Amino acid sequence: MAAEVDRSEKGLLIGDTDESINYSSGKKSLKQRLLSSISERSIYRGILATVAICWSTGIVNFSFNTSNASFSWPGQPAPQKPYICHPPLPAVLRSLPTPPDAPQFLTAARTLDAALTLRVAAPDMDSISVAVVTPSGPVFSKTYGALRANETDPRKRGKPDEDSLYRIASISKMFNVYEMMILRERGLLNWDDPVEKYIKNFTYYPDGWEEYLSESHEASTPGERKRKGDPITLRQLATHMSGIGRDYPPMTIPSWPKIDPKDLKHNLPNSTEPILETIKELPLVAPPYTYPIYSNTGFNVLGWAVAAAAGGKPEDYPDILHRDIFERLGLSSAFNVTEKTAGNVVVPAVGSYESDLAFGPYNPAGGQFSSLKDLTKVMQTFLDPSRKESLLSPYAMREWLRPLHGFPDDLTEVGAPWEIVKVPDTNGNPRRWYSKSGNLLTSHSIFIFDPTTSFGVIVLMTGLDHNALKIAINVIQIFQRAFDNLLEQTTMQLYGGYWKSDDGKSEAITYVEKGSLWLSRLFLNGTDIFEVLEGPLYPRGRRYGVWTTGRDEEFRVAIGRTELPDDVFVGCFPAWVTMDPIFAKGAPVDLILFDGDPDDRIVKVPSVGVVMKRKFWR
């Protein structure tokens, strides 16, 4: 029978195992516990216990290291600090309103407002609009600078507002994949469909540059080539993995290796033919699925294929997005300036012509306008796809928010079309931030969010400063602590504390530390589960990570492999490979379920039929 725990014992809520606590079954000596271990567990466990007796009594005196003892492997790197696998906290802020008037958010908002006021006063910044967004709405949303910075008369410059339209450039690619996902949900296309299913005359040069530069192109038509290239699919286009080059037809500079500014002109084609012809004639940068090649051309082809899947032509792409996304979400986003919207388009001082550019067949890669208010609405549905206005299911969003390629920097990854950056939270744990940026000459923007903490940042700006990502990261860092604290407090309120069954035979301690939920004690029907898993000599302070399954109130205890606690290179693998190990009473032994109101919580362990009530949590 588990004894009542004195809440004044600090060690109980930080993972210590207090050996001074007596249980009604009587405290066993070390040898008794070890002999019990031999009889109750496997021969393997018994052998380990026997070795432990010899060591603890001094019969045998030796040093034991699970990492090959004192043996040094040739070429072994210098010792590194083991990575502690920190399970992510449940996304509890997704369904809870975030209070913008909470003191920590008001403080962060004042800090950000002061910083942006100073930033927009610099000569390289014409305007900037910033929002910090949660599923329930923004906790910060403000605009700064000039609406029409090209006006010489200050009285005509005006000020942007949340409805002002910016050129969002390559953020258009995110909407391209968004539409693709919507059509996939309707059964009109599949990720791995080949491009030629939708664009009948699509083909590409299958060989490399050496073959291309050495052959006679007059005699090298696609029909005469000896081999057919690997398929190029919609998924490859959406993730920059097709190998197609950046901008086709490419810009040619006659003065190279010198650069004459007069040569720096890239006239956008007014039809799809020159682009498709260039893909057919030029080698790919790399074969498909080699590594990401940032490709505006590839995203144009994706947009035309998406339009075809929706029953249209390439030129119908803007209308299809208006029908399926803009209209359904109530957005003012568009691809062209109209008489109605012209007065609220943000115009930079340099390169003001960008506001009037007609992108034509380049619309899928970068032709869109959008506003702070529009992108806030979109981000709310991405952070919480269960919202009634969401256009994608939670399943589709989970599928979409995945990296496909990691660069060798432990920092950046690529998705569809996500530019993923790993930003440390306030506990130093890396978080994946899913972003899409957009850059023209003087229009720069970024849309970036973290699904776990359930907040994101939108930055829209005009001027000569190109680095919207840097500003977004600064905004994140200003608000990160407030969100991390709220997430940890809410998780602790729902899932942390000291739990005990009515018969006193079962108890558990769960707590939040450094951005993760941990289990530091678990007795079930009088049995110390830590001892069952590790033997009676399990380390003082042992704890297990508690992983959310993504379902409300459902978790798994990550048992892991305790013989690898100091291995530098295993990371989260042991927790991953040991999840869902064995069953009892028709349920996994690592499954725990929570229930009840915040002030009347219970935890259930179905594998033993135990229910424990929370005694305290603060």
Show Cβ contacts of residue 304 under 8 Å, excluding neighbours closer than 6 positions. Answer: 198, 199, 272, 314, 317, 361, 364
CB 244 within 8 A of CB 250: no
Whether 484 shows a pLDDT value over 70: the answer reads yes
Least confident of 254-258, 289-293, 486-490, 565-569: 565-569
Position 562 scores a pLDDT of 64
Which one is predicted more confidently, 188 or 261? 188
- Rounded CA-CA distance 360/364 in Å is 9
Q: How many CB atoms lie within 10 A of CB 521?
A: 24
Using CB atoms within 10 Å of the CB of residue 154, give its burial: 0 to 12 exposed, 13 to 18 middle, 19+ buried: exposed
DSSP character at residue 148: B
Q: Which residues pair with 127 in a beta bridge?
A: 145, 462
Give the tens place of pLDDT for each residue, 32-57. Answer: 433 344 344 443 343 333 333 333 33
Whether 190 shows a pLDDT value over 70: the answer reads yes
Position 539 scores a pLDDT of 77
Whether 119 shows a pLDDT value over 50: the answer reads yes
The predicted model gives 150-170 an average pLDDT of 96
- Rounded CA-CA distance 498/327 in Å is 50
DSSP character at residue 386: T
Whether 265 shows a pLDDT value over 80: the answer reads no
Whether 66 shows a pLDDT value over 60: the answer reads no
Q: For the chain, what percent of residues have pLDDT higher than 70?
A: 84
Give the tens place of pLDDT for each residue, 312-326. Answer: 999 999 999 999 999
Torsion of CA 39, 41, 42, 44, to 10 degrees: -90
Phi, psi of 412 (to 5 degrees): -120, 145
How many residues does the structure list for the chain?
618
Whether 488 shows a pLDDT value over 90: the answer reads yes
Position 79 scores a pLDDT of 56
The predicted model gives 327-353 an average pLDDT of 92
Domain chopping of the chain, boundaries: 10-70+496-616, 190-308
Position 226 scores a pLDDT of 52
Whether 62 shows a pLDDT value over 70: the answer reads no
Position 80 scores a pLDDT of 64
Position 401 scores a pLDDT of 97
